[in-house]
Amino acid sequence: MARQSLTRGLDAAIEFSGVGISLPKRRRRKGVGKRQRLRRLAGDSRREEVWVLRSASFSVLPGESVAVLGGGLPARQALLRLAAGTLMPDEGHVRRSDTVIPMVELARALDRRFTIRQNIYLLGGLLGMTPDQIGAQVASIAEQAGVDSLMDRYLGAAPAVTRQRMAWTIAMATHARAYAVDRALVVGEREFKEQCWVQLYELKQRGTTFLVATDAPRPLREFCDRALVIIDGSIQAAGSVDEGIELLREARAQGKIDEPPLG
């Protein structure tokens, strides 16, 4: 992961000031006539830029746990990547006082052509850890992820749940002070999820910051201090997670959004 630009002396852990970003969106071609029908059958589409965030201004204080709701997956993932500095805004500024680890599709970064051990070094390096830092923790990472007996086997077609456990454990091994998490704070089977929650609450008590973008917020009711809601590219503060869910329900009833109800 590239070195993030940090703002020393910043009171917030993460600060968005008038941030906007547009992403390409494919739309199927419409129209009548033989030519248009043939183009649709061939899968032809047109691309256009859509603003998924516009004039977004908010702060996340050190030690806060904030849920991000609504907006659709592209908008939520873009917000996390902006927070972590792996995506640059088209307008406005994002500042952070400490390194933010982007937990966005991390399992996809694991390479089936490499061994379990090599993949731990690979993903740890991508998340900013040095080889010495990874080496000091590689045994504990493997044990917690449940792959300690498979270290020198190729990842190959390992089940998705194994990849998820590995990615989550490696990310936590960075001992970062802030995490930007996509969709699920905990992963894996029931027992592993329980271990995840224990570790997360310990980190929260130590003052670790979490920004969690999700379409299944109910498990976060107790963990998150408040919620931000994306409606039509605009950020709205909503208080608690329950208040965020209610805000989205009202927006849906008023026809402002067409997203399915939250899980």
Which residues, in sequence order, are CB contacts of 166 under 8 Å at separation 6+?
Answer: 107, 110, 116, 119, 120, 123, 141, 145, 147
Mean per-residue pLDDT, 63-89? 95
pLDDT of residue 2: 52
pTM for this predicted structure: 0.88
Q: How confident is the model at residue 237 (pLDDT cuts 50, 70, 90)?
A: confident
Average confidence (pLDDT) over 203-217: 95
Q: Over pLDDT 90: what percentage of the chain?
A: 75
Residue with tokens 């059958």: 41
Q: What is the pLDDT at residue 214?
A: 92
Q: What is the pLDDT of residue 33?
A: 62
Q: What pLDDT band is residue 238 in, cutting at 50, 70 and 90? A: confident
Question: Using one digit for the tens of pLDDT, what is the confidence trace for 118-172?
Answer: 999 999 999 999 999 999 999 999 999 999 999 999 999 899 999 999 999 999 9
At position 102, the amino acid (one-letter code) is P
Question: Around 57, how many Cα atoms within 13 Å sit in the side-chain half-sphere?
Answer: 4
> 28 pLDDT band (50/70/90 cuts)?
low
Rounded CA gap, 44 and 41, in Å? Answer: 7
CB atoms within 10 A of CB 205: 9
Question: How high is the mean pLDDT of the chain?
Answer: 90
Mean pLDDT of all residues in 27-38: 58
What is the model's pLDDT at position 4? Answer: 74
Q: What DSSP state is assigned to residue 221? A: T
Question: Which pLDDT does position 38 carry in this prediction?
Answer: 61
Q: Secondary structure of the chain: what % helix, strand, coil (to 5)?
A: 35, 25, 35
Q: Which helix (H) or strand (E) holds 172?
A: helix 160-172
Q: Do the beta carbons of residue 175 and residue 199 sit within 8 Å? A: no
- 3.40.50.720, 2.160.20.60, 3.40.50.300, 3.40.50.970: CATH of 20-51+63-90+99-253: 3.40.50.300
| Residue 154, pLDDT score | 96
Cβ–Cβ < 8 Å for 133, 124 = yes
H/E element, 83? helix 73-84
- The DSSP secondary-structure symbol of 231 reads E
Cβ within 8 Å of residue 172, ≥6 positions away: 199, 203
Q: Three-class SS of residue 208?
A: coil
Q: What mean pLDDT do residues 101-112 have?
A: 95
Say whether pLDDT at 30 is over 60.
no
DSSP class of 115 = B
Residue 211 CA: distances (Å) to CA of 6, 39, 95: 17, 42, 14
Which of 40-54, 77-91, 188-202, 208-222 comes out lowest in average pLDDT? 40-54
* pLDDT class of 252 with cuts at 50, 70, 90: confident
Residue 181 has pLDDT above 80, yes or no: yes
Domain ranges of the chain: 20-51+63-90+99-253
Lowest mean pLDDT among 24-28, 42-46, 190-194, 248-252: 42-46
Assigned token pair, 182: 């996509």
Express each pLDDT in 51-74 by its tens digit.
999 999 999 999 999 999 999 999
Closest CA to 168 of 157, 154, 153, 183: 183
What's the rounded Cα separation, in Å, for the pair 238 and 227?
A: 5
The answer to whether 92 and 56 are in contact (CB under 8 A) is yes
Average pLDDT over residues 224-239: 92
